[in-house]
Structure 1
């Protein structure tokens, strides 16, 4: 049974955040809010958690998770950034963007693209996930909470709890955070290519 935590969307209660982080440190899988819909998350080193997320979403081994970071410093430890990428991405974060970049050795090989050695990273602009990431002290392995056969991600915490009670360890409910996913920008070839238009303004790239 999943723990249900009703968290204030702008001023998250420290006790609730600590409870979420404790669950993650015990290799739990959570549903949590972002600035571009709810997501599923677990610790990067939690192999079993990654498989649980794949099972929930009916994903195969080729699915690439996003590494969700607390700040630009943390992001910079996971991916290689040249000067132009550094300036543009720093100006756009935090925000509803996912950036695909070449991974550093810090990223486990199983999480990077097999041929390109690339990985998706983002810094969300949502007080709740920001608080979770700060206290956790490491990135989250994450995937949009889009269930098999659904056209849109789930938006209501109570519904997430009801549908996924047996397969999650916690549901962090901070109210509706929309259904539009991130805008995805591929920077692996040295220049930005918008490969999915979402919540973030693509024109800046």
Structure 2
């Protein structure tokens, strides 16, 4: 039975956060707010859950470009190769914020991502999802939930999201109305900066 729970960003209720963490640890799927659009995610170490997310997105897991939501920069360094000072400064300026950074992955990537050379990293400026990731102890894999209606593109109302997704996920977190502009994706995996997608977030950080 899927659940819809309300969590307030200013002061996330830890009992409710723990409910989300428990679901993730058991291999469940959750929908949660970020500083951009609502996202769909699971624990990056649970292969069956990752396969479910890939099926929902109609992609093969080894071909999927999911990003990781991390709590902070130190959390992120577990999964990426050593970065140079210039890259670190950009990350420090931009995060937490509405950006996805593509960086070179290292050997600590979970089994499902072992053959990936790069990984997309997010540290959203949203207390709810960052608290969940912090309590979980490792990142969650994340992908945005598109709406079939091309005009809308992203559903922003958590109750409507719950109506539509309740059969596919274990929990929808109502963190208030979401945004409808996705994150800006910046590739820093080579020595050059490449803008993959312009979304929310100023490019002045570069």
Scaled by the length of structure 2, the TM-score of the pair is 0.92
Q: Deviations over 1:53-108 (max 9, x none)?
A: 12222234422110110011011111121111011111111000000010011113
Match of 2:11 in 1: 11
Match of 2:160 in 1: 159
Residue 65 to residue 31, structure 1, CA distance change in 2 (3 Å): same
The answer to whether the aligner puts 1:122 opposite 2:122 as a matched pair is yes
Structure 1's consecutive aligned runs of 4 or more residues displaced over 3 angstroms after TM superposition are 147-151
Tell whether the 8 Å contact from 1:37 to 1:153 is kept in structure 2 after alignment.
yes
The answer to whether the aligner puts 1:135 opposite 2:121 as a matched pair is no
Q: How many residues align?
A: 203
Scaled by the length of structure 1, the TM-score of the pair is 0.93
The answer to whether the aligner puts 1:71 opposite 2:72 as a matched pair is yes
Quote the Cα distance in structure 2 between the aligned partners of 1:161 and 1:154: 10
Quote the Cα distance in structure 1 between the aligned partners of 2:111 and 2:24: 22
Structure 1: segments with no counterpart, 5+ residues: none
The CA RMSD over aligned residues, in Å, is 1.6
Quote the Cα distance in structure 2 between the aligned partners of 1:24 and 1:45: 10
The residue correspondences of 1:18-167 to structure 2 (distance < 5 A) are 18-61=18-61, 62-80=63-81, 81-108=83-110, 110-111=112-113, 114=116, 117-148=117-148, 150=150, 152-167=153-168
Deviation at 1:120, TM superposition (A): 0.5
Tell whether the 8 Å contact from 1:57 to 1:146 is kept in structure 2 after alignment.
no
Q: Deviations over 1:119-153 (max 9, x none)?
A: 10111110111111111111001111114564512
Quote the Cα distance in structure 2 between the aligned partners of 1:186 and 1:194: 6
Tell whether the 8 Å contact from 1:101 to 1:186 is kept in structure 2 after alignment.
yes
